[in-house]
Structure 1
Amino acid sequence: MSVFPRAIWHARGFLPYHVNELHKRYGSVVRISPNELAFSSPQAWRDIYGHRKAGEEEFPKYDGTYKIFPHLPTSIINSNRQDHSALRRQLAHGFSDRSMREQEPIIGSYVDLLVSRLKEAVQKNSSQNLREWYNYATFDIIGDLSFGDGGFGCLASSDYHPWVQLVTQTVRQSGIIQGLTHAGLGGPFIWASRMGLLADNKHRSIVHEKVAQRVESGERPDFLEGLIRKRGELNLDHGHLAMNASLLVIAGSETTATLLSGATFLLLTHPEILKKLEQEVRSAFKSDDEITLSSVGNLSYMLACLNESLRRYPPVVTGLPRVGPKGGAMVDGHFVPQGTVLSVFQWAVNHDERYWTEPEKFAPQRWLGDSKYKGDTLDAMQSFSVGPRNCIGRNLAYAEMRLILAKLVYNFDMTLSESSRGWLRDQKAYTVWDKPALDVYLKPVAR
């Protein structure tokens, strides 16, 4: 077996689809390159990513994905076990339920601005690219919660901040680099990064400037405060602060905007489900002001729609590779030798008919105890991963998704433009999706 087919599938944006077809043909574990296995099962999630018993080694992250550029500082996503625990402790408070409540005025102000800007835009009687509007909102929210200073100003200007534009434009580049690195061909990209020739070099320059401004601004209850306050104790220089800040902004914005885009498309192509959601949202509130982070938590059908969207269109679509620990380990009943690269591909396990009734069907009722779907294995879906390195931003993601979707459904009747009817068809999948425009006609609800 050669490393090149896997690298080519990845670089072309088709790897998750290919792995899914392999699982359909060969079962829950498949070999996708000479030293790499893909698993599709709930048990594999626990075995690869879950908490370890006392004395057991964790499955370390694969450097070929997480440390492509070894000259760059590490962050919470690719640090060792000890450093990760210390970083996570300092970041945890900013992502707690209590912090979400404290940050509600900030989050709510941007969601209200999103609705206001959309009401202005629809007066032109043209469709709106909600992919961009969702990006504006989520980047502004995470930018303000990380750096203050009004976020990135995307909603205020109805346009991308230069940094946000760089992030959205490098999706394809990062996929190509990762794919070729898996094949041992990453050398030219490492050299180009050292020489400052890649787009992400401009991205890092802007982050360094933002972090410097944030450090100078003093104490502020945001995501970076814990790291800044403990930077001496944690041995975090400016480069490490900037790398962690960059990760927080990208992970806390692009994925949420992606899910909102996917949920919107799926709802608009299933009018009977959209109508039921409209009834739930519009009957629950007498005015827009009643829609808060707390009150949207009572919308059970909307949560089911979001969970089903996460299953059908997972924002992180590729596997998150780990490496078999010293001495090897058992994964889903299979012994894997030390050093073997392992992962669960969300696209594959979320569409595996062994765990889901009608896996290709968009069916929110499967999350509400519908008897037709009683055989579904709901814990096969782990959108935020599991274990000690699961996504720290889960609470923020759900808070934003619920509030934004509720506000849009309450305020607008939405219709998908014919130009976006095939939006989900043939999308390229790198670490995240390379999404086309999502053109939607919005009509303010008359009250």
Structure 2
Amino acid sequence: MTGLSQLPQTGWLGEQFQVNAVANCYSFVRYLLLALVALLIHRVYAALWTSPLRNIRGSFLSRITSLRVELFAAGGYSSYLAKTDFENYGDIYVLMPNAVGIGNPADIRALLGNSTVRKSDHYKTLRFTGTENTVSARDFELANSKHRQLGPYFNPSYLSKMEQKIMDHGIVSIKRKWDELIAQAPTGRAEVNYCNDFLYLAFDTIGVLAFGKQIEELSVNDTPTAKWVASMIFYLGVRASFQLLPNWLATLVLYPWEGRYNRFSAYAHESIATRRQFLATQTKMDQECKRPADLLQAFIDAEDPTSKVRMDSEQIHGECVLMMMAGSDTVSGTLTWAVHLLMLYPEYYKRAVAEVRGQFSQDHVITYSESRAQLPFIEACLYESLRLAPITGGLLPRMSPKGGTTIQGHYIPEGTMIAVNMFAANHHSAFWDQPRVFNPQRFLDDDSARHNVLTFSSGKRVCPGRQLAWWEMLTVFANILKDYDWELPADYTHLGPNVLDKHGHPRQMDETQFIIIKPANPDRDCRLVVSKHKE
């Protein structure tokens, strides 16, 4: 009886416990919602009445949360956000509760030239190893030291020593592949994916220069190899973006690519060690006579002339990985957009072809110096591609300096993030006539126009490798225009000179951005039919 009499009591207590648990849970949710509402009210009040940025234009959502920017970045749409914000709000606008975006080239140049303005902590995402590299360094003096270390090795005199390697793994490599494809085609016309081919040659060239030898996975230039290169570049970009996540989550997301990166990283360490061992066995006279001329040797020899500091192996490793990502994507991306844009504007394609074929015979391989001296319109086409489709066309964050700064009449307090909108700078109507139109003629005999293209940044933090990029781009672009006739495939109907965007101009291919802007659908959009030009 005792046990039976306790059953209802136990059941009642259990039910009471459940009721209490539900009530407590309800109370918790209610208080949580109240707290969130209070936080929202506080943020709205601060954004509209107390924020020092309250008088600057911008969306309501951007004033109360950074989630908008973070979601666009995670989805690869930072460049789209940069475009739409500039079009909607102009030269300065609220990007996040404590951040503004700026798009006027004069304001951007002044900001980047200010030695008291440092990069934001977001640049930590580009620290691929445990040490700072040329791009990730936020301390101004450290950044200057790195630029002083590397400056002598990115000037024309040193780059000329690397020219044969640049040519062999650049234009000679792509000509070999395209010639083989054309020879195999019954019609003498072969379809190529120029995005993949440019990415391969750029990655291969930088790999040889940064590691002193060809990366094993790049021994064959075929589609699987191009996919390997693309996945490696994608991994480096996403890995950088995901460094802001907890380590366990970033590791989980990036696991499919981790093995490839580890092999790549080990290859970098091995290359540095091998080169140091080689140098250690050389006599002083041998070192002067047989010293390799490449980026790896430049990183080893690099010395700050002021402090006499050199890079250690870990720092060299970081610079090598940075060059592989930034260097290869910069070159391949610019070449890809240049070809794409010439196919959208056939009158300029014909003019570029006429210029180069009027200067050089088909059996001549055009060098960098010849391109600079004799092909101004082809160089202008690359400048216009860098302007119209800037590969760094998203948002580059800096921090307002001590004491704050004033931009467009608005005071920006110390510690506020100032995001440089590169798309806006390269499309600003006060600096560019018909900015949405591809028109290389704007760069002919106009140094000020070239000066206003900010894709490689500006001031003391300008990209140190820009001269190397130009060396690669000009030699490839000039020679493929000379040696091949280009046309779009017959089934390529979704884009072309007569497929217009909402502004009435030829519609450009879709893009995505994980640090660097690239085609969103290269297998669909970057197809080209090439044939050998016959004189």
TM-score class, shorter-chain normalisation, is 0.7 to 0.9
Change (3 A) 1:236 1:301: closer
* Match in the other structure for 1:329: 405
- Out of 99, 106, 127, which is 1:36 matched to? 99
Q: In the TM superposition, what are the counterparts of 1:309-324 in structure 2 within 5 Å?
A: 309-324=385-400
Q: Match of 1:343, SS? A: strand
* Match in the other structure for 1:440: 528
Change (3 A) 1:69 1:240: closer
* Match in the other structure for 1:241: 316
Write the letter of the residue equivalent to 2:71.
I
* Match in the other structure for 2:164: 105
Distance 2:217 2:364 in 1: 23
- Out of 437, 457, 467, which is 1:395 matched to? 467
Write the letter of the residue equivalent to 2:201.
A
CA contact (8 A) 1:326 1:338 kept: yes
Q: Match of 2:94, SS? A: strand
Q: Match of 2:119, SS? A: coil
* Match in the other structure for 2:329: 254
Q: Match of 1:362, SS? A: coil
Report whether the alignment pairs 1:276 with 2:371.
Answer: no
Count matched residues: 432
Distance 1:361 1:378 in 2: 16
Write the letter of the residue equivalent to 1:148.
G
- Out of 65, 75, 88, which is 2:147 matched to? 88
Q: In the TM superposition, what are the counterparts of 1:5-404 in structure 2 within 5 Å?
A: 5-52=68-115, 57=116, 59-67=117-125, 72-79=130-137, 80-110=139-169, 111-125=171-185, 126-150=190-214, 154=218, 156-158=220-222, 160=225, 164-170=229-235, 173-174=238-239, 177=242, 181=244, 186-188=245-247, 192=251, 199=258, 200-201=261-262, 203-218=264-279, 219-229=291-301, 234=309, 236-289=311-364, 291-297=366-372, 298-368=374-444, 379-404=451-476
Q: Deviations over 1:157-189 (max 9, x none)?
A: 4463897344233267347637xx4xxxx2246
CA contact (8 A) 1:420 1:439 kept: no
Distance 2:222 2:128 in 1: 37
CA contact (8 A) 2:425 2:454 kept: no
Distance 1:337 1:235 in 2: 37
TM-score, structure 2 normalization: 0.73
CA contact (8 A) 1:30 1:39 kept: yes
Distance 1:369 1:175 in 2: 39
- Out of 51, 66, 91, which is 1:3 matched to? 66
Distance 1:35 1:203 in 2: 38
RMSD (Å), alpha carbons: 3.1
* Match in the other structure for 2:480: 408
Distance 1:420 1:220 in 2: 49
Write the letter of the residue equivalent to 2:336.
S
Distance 1:8 1:282 in 2: 48
Q: Match of 2:528, SS? A: strand
CA positional deviation for 1:202: 5.1
Write the letter of the residue equivalent to 2:78.
L
Q: Match of 2:414, SS? A: coil
CA positional deviation for 1:51: 4.9
Q: Deviations over 1:122-169 (max 9, x none)?
A: 234341111111112112222222222246673754463897344233
Distance 2:103 2:142 in 1: 30
* Match in the other structure for 1:431: 515
Distance 1:358 1:163 in 2: 39
Q: Match of 2:197, SS? A: helix
Distance 2:263 2:96 in 1: 33
Report which stretch shifted further, 150-159 or 346-355: 150-159
Report which stretch shifted further, 29-38 or 284-293: 284-293
Change (3 A) 1:121 1:22: same
Distance 1:426 1:230 in 2: 40
**Structure 1 or 2: larger helix share?**
2
Distance 1:330 1:400 in 2: 39
Write the letter of the residue equivalent to 1:128.
V
CA contact (8 A) 1:19 1:32 kept: no
CA contact (8 A) 1:266 1:362 kept: yes
CA positional deviation for 1:412: 0.4
Q: Match of 2:335, SS? A: helix
CA positional deviation for 1:203: 4.2
Distance 1:325 1:177 in 2: 27
TM-score, structure 1 normalization: 0.87
Write the letter of the residue equivalent to 1:431.
I
Q: Deviations over 1:353-373 (max 9, x none)?
A: 333222211111122269xxx
Report which stretch shifted further, 328-337 or 110-119: 328-337
Larger Rg: 1 or 2? 2
Distance 1:84 1:308 in 2: 29
Q: Match of 2:295, SS? A: coil
Distance 1:161 1:208 in 2: 23
CA positional deviation for 1:443: 0.3
Provide structure 2 residue ranges, at least 5 long, that are not aligned to the other structure. Answer: 1-63, 280-290, 496-506
Distance 1:326 1:198 in 2: 41
